[in-house]
């Protein structure tokens, strides 16, 4: 007797109701699969996940679901306007409700639930990274409220970036003040399926900013930028949000920020997905770097909207990936081949992924830096 897979007809309806409204737009052209960077290192078919979800076939919730780094490359090229990242997020949230998260992501969610951050950091120590920076607290006299990324608060490598950023902002004459009481913006939490947890984080952060009267928010992380500008408004958080490179580029253009220290280095710039493809910010970091005396700036073969991601988005930062399948490893090898001794980016996740790649490849002669550290 033959056996046939029985579609679960309630699945596509549940996905559509939970945030995946564009599921039915997909007509299975396969552009997403051809675009996805995973296919440079393994066989990964986004289309298969969508097909199974459309007809409710078992397998849409399999291991492949958790590979997506939410880089948005597939969304940019989809001829039907399918919001594939939203589909992946929605399916993950449905799976997460059943408790079927990958083990490492369960630990991350637990830390965020208990500590307000994914790094298992003590909330009382969230501001320790800036204790020697003499940064002013935000009040009504300040233009921007500086919202700290969890990575800068708890990861030692990114904490150094954070301190460099505060110094550069002060030197550039930016009117800003730091906050106390922030929690994770919730980007990775939501993309990994923790929808209810994300809602709580958003409510807490919106209340904090409203409570201090902040209307303009300055962020060092593209993930915070995307969350505040595109996801918080639906939850009552209506703020003008800028990434650090945007305000620095404006100062460079006006002549208010002039770099005088010569930095004799050959650098290559990596476009973070959440700064570039998700938010269209490509020129500003390059303008800032171009103003640095002595710095020679190179480009990757695929850059700007075509850039390959670091692989850390969508919760992948906390998941294990074989060394030869890490996107940051591929990009770091290319950077060296092109003659760069410094990889510059503008995202804490990218910093972490490239630092891990540097360690894995034993490339002690290559420096990984944020834009603010290259000035």
144 and 172 fall within a common domain = yes
Q: Which domain holds residue 272?
A: 259-373
90 and 121 fall within a common domain = no
* pTM (two decimals): 0.96
124 and 219 fall within a common domain = yes
Asked if 305 and 283 count as a contact pair (C-beta separation under 8 A), the reply is no
**What are the Cα distances from residue 207, in Å, to 201, 202, 204, 212?**
10, 8, 5, 9
> How many C-beta atoms lie closer than 10 Å to residue 55's C-beta?
13
- Looking only at the bridges linking them, the beta strands covering 342-345 and 367-370 are parallel
Q: Which of 97, 128, 150 is the last residue of a domain?
A: 97
Q: Which of 201, 216, 248 is the last residue of a domain?
A: 248
107 and 243 fall within a common domain = yes
- Is 354 a member of any domain? yes
**What are the Cα distances from residue 67, in Å, to 5, 113, 166, 272?**
25, 23, 34, 18
- Is 244 a member of any domain? yes
88 and 114 fall within a common domain = no
317 and 204 fall within a common domain = no
Q: Which of 49, 73, 97 is the last residue of a domain?
A: 97
Domain CATH code at residue 153: 3.40.50
Distance, CA of 210 to CA of 300 (rounded, Å): 41
Asked if 84 and 78 count as a contact pair (C-beta separation under 8 A), the reply is yes
What token pair was written down for 20?
């995946």
Asked if 222 and 275 count as a contact pair (C-beta separation under 8 A), the reply is yes
340 and 369 fall within a common domain = yes
Question: What is the chain's mean pLDDT, rounded?
Answer: 96
- Looking only at the bridges linking them, the beta strands covering 265-269 and 342-345 are parallel
Asked if 337 and 300 count as a contact pair (C-beta separation under 8 A), the reply is no
Q: Got the DSSP string for 120-167?
A: ---GGGTTGGGTTS-PPBP-TT-SEEEPPPHHHHH-HHHHHHHHHHHH
**Per-residue model confidence as pLDDT tens digits over 31-69:** 999 999 999 999 999 999 999 999 988 888 889 999 999
Distance, CA of 164 to CA of 55 (rounded, Å): 51
- Is 253 a member of any domain? no
pLDDT in the model for residue 4: 57
How many domains are there within the chain? 3
- Is 34 a member of any domain? yes
**What are the Cα distances from residue 46, in Å, to 49, 50, 201?**
5, 7, 29
Distance, CA of 115 to CA of 319 (rounded, Å): 20
- Is 3 a member of any domain? no
- Is 167 a member of any domain? yes
User: Which residues in the chain come in under a pLDDT of 50?
Assistant: 1-2
pLDDT in the model for residue 230: 98
72 and 121 fall within a common domain = no
- Is 302 a member of any domain? yes
Domain CATH code at residue 336: 3.40.50.10700
186 and 121 fall within a common domain = yes
């Amino acid at each position: 007797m033959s056996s046939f897979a029985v579609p679960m007809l309630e699945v596509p309806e549940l996905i559509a109701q939970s945030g995946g409204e564009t599921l039915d737009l997909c007509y299975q052209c396969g552009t997403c699969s051809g675009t996805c960077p995973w296919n440079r290192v393994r066989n990964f078919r986004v289309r298969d996940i969508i097909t199974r979800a459309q007809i409710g076939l078992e397998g849409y919730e399999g291991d492949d679901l958790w590979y997506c780094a939410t880089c948005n490359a597939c969304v940019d090229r989809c001829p039907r306007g399918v919001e594939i990242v939203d589909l992946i997020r929605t399916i993950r949230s449905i799976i997460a409700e059943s408790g079927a998260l990958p083990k490492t992501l369960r630990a991350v969610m637990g830390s965020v639930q208990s500590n307000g951050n994914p790094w298992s950091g003590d909330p009382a120590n969230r501001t320790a990274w800036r204790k020697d920076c003499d940064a002013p607290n935000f009040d009504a006299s300040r233009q921007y409220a500086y919202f700290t990324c969890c990575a800068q608060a708890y990861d030692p490598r990114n904490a150094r970036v954070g301190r460099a950023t505060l110094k550069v902002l002060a030197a550039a004459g930016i009117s800003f003040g730091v906050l106390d009481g922030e929690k994770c913006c919730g980007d990775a939490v939501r993309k990994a399926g923790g929808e209810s947890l994300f809602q709580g984080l958003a409510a807490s952060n919106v209340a904090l900013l409203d409570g201090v009267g902040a209307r303009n928010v300055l962020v060092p992380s593209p993930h915070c930028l995307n969350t505040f500008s595109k996801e918080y408004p639906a939850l009552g958080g209506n703020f003008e949000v800028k990434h650090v490179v945007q305000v620095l580029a404006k100062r460079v253009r006006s002549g208010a920020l002039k770099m005088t220290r010569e930095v004799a280095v050959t650098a290559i710039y990596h476009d973070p997905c959440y700064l570039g493809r998700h938010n269209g910010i490509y020129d500003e970091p390059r303008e800032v770097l171009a103003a640095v005396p002595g710095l020679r700036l190179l480009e990757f073969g695929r850059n700007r909207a075509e850039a390959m991601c670091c692989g850390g988005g969508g919760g992948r930062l906390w998941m294990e990936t074989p060394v030869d399948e890490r996107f940051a490893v591929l990009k770091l090898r290319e950077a060296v081949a092109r003659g760069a001794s410094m990889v510059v980016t503008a995202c804490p996740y990218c910093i972490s992924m490239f630092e891990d790649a540097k360690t894995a490849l034993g490339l002690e002669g290559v420096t990984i830096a944020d834009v603010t550290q290259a000035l």
